[in-house]
């Protein structure tokens, strides 16, 4: 997952373990580069510099250059300004490092993504854009990306989503007290359609091992940037110039976010802003932030369509792989289609212990109560219909739709939505903390000074 041919060839030559000591690593890399330079068959123009070493992998200058060119193309296509090249390179390199660390973690945990899963997603993307697979390939390659790279990018995204689900989302619990407090603090996000905010931000990152002096210096730097914005510097230009976040390359755009999904530190500051206004300096575990509110929408009362569904879920393991699980579920599906009650099949086979005893019954589900793919499949079923086998981060599923209804907001639905919003916020906050810890323990060495990128 996510390993370029160049990086693969390099690592096959070095055969370095994950926790190689630094002197040995540098010596081997130095020897490799010396041999390359000494070879009369290799010109200086063909040598691809190592920009960064990330655990057992490397990021090369050509890979960084490719990301820069791709980002510039995307910004031009959107009609957005191109940020200064130096800052863009630094932001993209950080983004590549963070991406690579997550992919390495997924590989360490043996998280794999089958080809059929990847191509299923690619086919869905093509259908959603009303394109054939061939037409999608043409569009991708027109944008300067090979179709093979595009497919591997999709594989990486799925792997990271599964990784985050396994290491972060599944560890999150929401208590009744947290729901009560949320309903008191944010009543409008439940009784009405949740308010959405279009935001941009600037991050001045603070390393986990920063000294008090360093923290104070970075806070002061953030306040100086805020003063520049107050003095007339466009927020997007300030983000491109100063932000340590990868989205700084796009003017710091976060896009539309539910108010209830924002990090706790952002909520109070953003709630006091009018459209176009810039926040005061906000402290978070990642560092210091400045936020701009670009727009606000939503807040109208609405009705909710609920679905009553049953499911059977099987989870791959070392004994039964993905292919075997699919075959097993397909056999169960054929028995159901032949007349076997879905509820009895769930009691016999489902690995969801809570719903299994109820014949797979998950009760009435509102939008947002379940995984996105699960919700999408259930929404497309007719009453009484059984889905085909499909996959989510939790495993492989069969779903039967028992009934569908539309209801006004009730106390139970309010609590369900509140639980989902509290959970989303906690997952987002835990993800940032987890990612910071993952980066802190990684071996990262910049082989080229950032000023020389």
Q: Could you tell me the residue ranges of all domains in the chain?
A: 195-297, 304-407
Residue 71 has phi, psi (to 5 degrees) of -65, -40
Are the C-beta atoms of residues 448 and 62 closer than 8 Å to each other? no
Q: Which class is domain 304-407?
A: alpha beta
For residues 208 and 263, give the distance between their C-alpha atoms in angstroms, rounded to a whole number: 19
Which pLDDT score is estimated for 396? 93
The per-residue pLDDT for 4 is 43
Q: Domain 195-297 belongs to what topology?
A: Chitinase A; domain 3 (3.10.50)
Q: What is the DSSP letter of 260?
A: G
- Specify the pLDDT at position 3: 45
For 211, the 3-state DSSP assignment is: coil
Comparing 195-297 with 304-407, is the CATH topology the same? yes
Whole-angstrom Cα distance, residue 436 to residue 98?
Answer: 9
Distance CA 193, CA 173 (A): 24
| Token pair recorded at residue 25 | 């690593």
| CA separation for the pair 211, 341 (Å, rounded) | 64
Cα–Cα distance for residue pair 318/323, rounded to 1 Å: 12
Considering the entire predicted model, what is its pTM?
0.51
The predicted pLDDT at position 371 comes to 80
The pLDDT value given to residue 262: 79
The segments of the chain whose pLDDT lies below 50 read 2-45, 301
In 47-168, alpha helices (H): 61-77, 85-108, 115-128, 133-142, 147-167
Q: Distance between CA atoms of 441 and 324, rounded to whole angstroms? A: 36
Q: In what order do the strands lie in the sheet with 50-54?
A: 57-60, 50-54, 444-446
């Amino acid at each position: 997952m996510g390993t370029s041919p160049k990086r693969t060839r390099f690592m096959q030559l070095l055969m370095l373990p994950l926790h190689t000591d630094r002197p040995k690593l540098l010596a081997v890399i130095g020897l490799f580069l010396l041999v390359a330079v000494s070879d009369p068959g290799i010109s200086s123009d063909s040598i691809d510099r190592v920009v960064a070493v990330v655990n057992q992998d490397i990021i090369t200058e050509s890979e960084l250059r490719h990301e820069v060119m791709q980002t510039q193309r995307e910004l031009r296509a959107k009609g957005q300004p191109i940020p200064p090249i130096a800052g863009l390179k630094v932001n993209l390199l950080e983004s590549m490092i963070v991406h690579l660390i997550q992919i390495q973690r997924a590989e360490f945990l043996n998280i794999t993504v089958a080809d059929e899963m990847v191509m299923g997603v690619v086919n869905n993307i093509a259908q959603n854009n009303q394109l054939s697979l061939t037409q999608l390939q043409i569009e991708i390659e027109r944008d300067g990306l090979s179709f093979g790279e595009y497919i591997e990018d999709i594989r990486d995204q799925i792997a990271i989503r599964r990784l985050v689900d396994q290491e972060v989302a599944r560890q999150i619990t929401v208590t009744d007290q947290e729901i009560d407090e949320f309903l008191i603090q944010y009543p409008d996000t439940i009784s009405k359609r949740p308010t959405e905010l279009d935001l941009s931000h600037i991050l001045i990152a603070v390393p986990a091992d920063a000294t008090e002096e360093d923290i104070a210096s970075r806070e002061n730097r953030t306040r100086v940037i805020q003063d520049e914005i107050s003095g007339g510097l466009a927020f997007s230009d300030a983000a491109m110039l100063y932000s340590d976040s990868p989205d700084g390359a796009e003017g710091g755009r976060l896009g539309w976010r539910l108010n209830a999904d924002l990090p706790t530190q952002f909520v109070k500051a953003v709630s006091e802003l009018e459209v176009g206004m810039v926040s005061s300096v906000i402290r978070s575990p990642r560092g210091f932030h400045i936020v701009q509110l670009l727009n606000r929408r939503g807040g109208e009362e609405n009705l909710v369509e609920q679905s009553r569904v049953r499911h059977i879920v099987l989870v791959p393991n070392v004994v039964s792989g993905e292919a075997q699980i699919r075959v097993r579920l397909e056999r169960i599906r054929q028995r159901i289609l032949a007349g076997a009650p879905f509820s009895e099949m769930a009691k016999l086979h489902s690995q969801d212990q809570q719903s299994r005893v109820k014949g797979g019954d998950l009760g009435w589900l509102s939008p947002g109560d379940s995984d996105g793919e699960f919700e999408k499949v259930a929404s497309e079923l007719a009453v009484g219909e059984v889905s085909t086998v499909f996959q989510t981060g939790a495993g492989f599923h069969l779903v039967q739709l028992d009934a569908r209804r539309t209801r006004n907001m009730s106390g139970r639905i309010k609590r369900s939505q509140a639980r989902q919003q509290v959970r989303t916020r906690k997952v987002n906050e835990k993800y940032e903390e987890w990612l910071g810890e993952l980066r802190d323990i990684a071996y990262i060495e910049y082989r080229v000074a950032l000023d020389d990128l």
